[in-house]
């Protein structure tokens, strides 16, 4: 049986516990209020004009003409900050480099797909027992002179253009710095030799690369790729002639713009230098793309295509299939030689024989 004291203890304990909860709630409420009061209040924003804005606008000369004065003589010495330089840098990084990469990569993918579908173009009649003299020793020398210089300039130029994002993860910053510095110096030293080789190529081959009757039909049929009908051609076909004139004009642009970049003492402004850089890069990418196709045809793309530049002679059947107008006239004039005769002449003298009828000089 519970005593009266017990009945009094329970309400008392409940009352103490309620007071404790009430106090705890008041304490939490007070803490929240204090925390809210201590939070920084947002101040109204006041827009103030930078008192130096006009000064720096004049320094950068964004809207004002370039009319600064300085005791230092030279081109654009009155320009403190060149605003066009940043636009050129953004164009180079955001457009020139990625688009150039797409073009080169697309060409490689196209050739791989073409080889997978078409394979190597064979000599339909097979290798014959006779050859025709096609290139003289001097012509082969200047061709390989140009080829070696172009490949060196292409490799070093691509390192300078694409090397930073591609090679730093592989070589590290110090390794890429050494490679880039060597590429720049080698590129600048070998660049003028490219112009020399270009002049030699133009003088020697320009007469054979004049467009002739029948060249347009060769182009329309894709050099025989479209359809199965044979496409007649002279000493050089339409594709080779077009590559020659691309080399003349685009190569000339590359050479002249390269001289502007290598020799800034020519008295040209920075905008001209930036345009020269853009023209140099675009022209180089275009020529590299074309030369990739040229190398493909001369190596894995077509049987017998490179023999003329390797030995000075080409197979008679190959000549009839790809340059039949020239080959038929050369054969009629008795220029065809047996393989034994060619081997003997090359073994005895180590050079190609002289052209018999002058057909190679005329390109007819």
Number of H helices, E strands in the chain: 13, 3
Whether the CA torsion 124, 128, 130, 135 is positive or negative: it is: positive
pLDDT for the residue 68: 63
Per-residue pLDDT tens, the chain, 364 aa: give them: 444 444 444 445 445 455 555 555 555 556 555 555 555 555 555 555 666 777 766 666 555 555 566 766 667 666 666 767 778 888 888 899 999 999 999 999 999 999 998 888 888 888 899 999 999 999 999 999 999 999 999 999 999 999 988 899 999 999 999 999 999 999 999 999 999 999 999 999 999 999 987 788 777 766 655 555 667 788 998 889 999 999 999 999 999 999 999 887 676 777 888 899 999 999 999 999 999 999 998 889 899 999 999 999 999 999 998 898 999 999 999 998 998 988 888 775 544 444 443 444 444 4
Contact 307, 313 (CB under 8 A): yes
pTM of the model: 0.74
SS3 12: helix
The DSSP line for 48-85 is ---TTHHHHHHHHTSSS-S----SS-STTTT-SS-THH
- Predicted pLDDT of residue 271: 80
DSSP per-residue codes, 117-133: HH--B--TT---SEEEE
Instruction: Return the CATH fold of 132-362.
Output: Fumarate Reductase Cytochrome B subunit (1.20.950)
Residue 145, Cβ neighbours under 10 Å: how many?
A: 15
How far apart (Å, rounded) are the C-alpha atoms in residues 68 and 316?
A: 71
pLDDT at 361: 42
Domain locations in the chain as residue ranges: 132-362
- pLDDT computed for residue 175 by the predictor: 93
């Amino acid at each position: 049986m519970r005593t009266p004291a017990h009945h009094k203890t329970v309400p008392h304990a409940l009352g103490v516990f309620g007071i404790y909860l009430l106090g705890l709630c008041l304490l939490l409420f007070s803490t929240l209020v204090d925390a809210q009061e201590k939070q920084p209040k947002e101040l109204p924003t006041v827009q103030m004009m930078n008192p130096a804005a006009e000064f720096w606008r004049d320094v950068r000369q964004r809207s004002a003409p370039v009319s600064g004065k300085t005791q230092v003589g030279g081109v654009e010495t009155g320009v403190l900050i060149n605003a066009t330089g940043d636009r050129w840098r953004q164009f180079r990084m955001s457009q020139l480099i990625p688009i150039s990469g797409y073009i080169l990569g697309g060409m490689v993918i196209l050739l791989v797909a073409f080889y997978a579908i078409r394979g190597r173009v064979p000599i339909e009649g097979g290798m014959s027992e006779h050859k025709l003299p096609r290139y003289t020793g001097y012509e082969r020398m200047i061709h390989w002179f140009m080829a070696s210089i172009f490949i060196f300039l292409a490799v070093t130029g691509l390192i300078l253009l694409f090397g930073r994002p591609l090679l730093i993860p592989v070589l590290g910053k110090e390794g890429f710095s050494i490679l880039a510095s060597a590429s720049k110096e080698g590129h600048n030293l070998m660049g003028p030799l490219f112009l020399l080789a270009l002049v030699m190529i133009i003088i020697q081959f320009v007469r054979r690369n004049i467009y002739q009757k029948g060249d347009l039909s060769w182009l329309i049929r894709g050099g025989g790729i479209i359809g199965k009908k044979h496409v007649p051609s002279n000493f050089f076909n339409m594709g080779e002639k077009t590559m020659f004139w691309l080399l003349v004009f685009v190569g000339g642009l590359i050479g002249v713009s390269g001289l502007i970049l290598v020799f800034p003492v020519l008295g040209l402004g920075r905008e001209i230098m930036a345009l020269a850089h853009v023209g140099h890069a675009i022209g180089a990418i275009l020529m590299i793309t074309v030369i990739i196709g040229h190398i493909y045809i001369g190596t894995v793309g077509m049987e017998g295509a490179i023999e003329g530049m390797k030995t000075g002679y080409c197979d008679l059947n190959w000549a009839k299939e790809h340059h039949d107008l020239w080959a038929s006239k050369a054969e009629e004039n008795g220029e065809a030689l047996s393989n034994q005769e060619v081997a003997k002449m090359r073994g005895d003298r180590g050079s190609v024989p002289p052209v018999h009828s002058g057909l190679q000089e005329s390109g007819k």
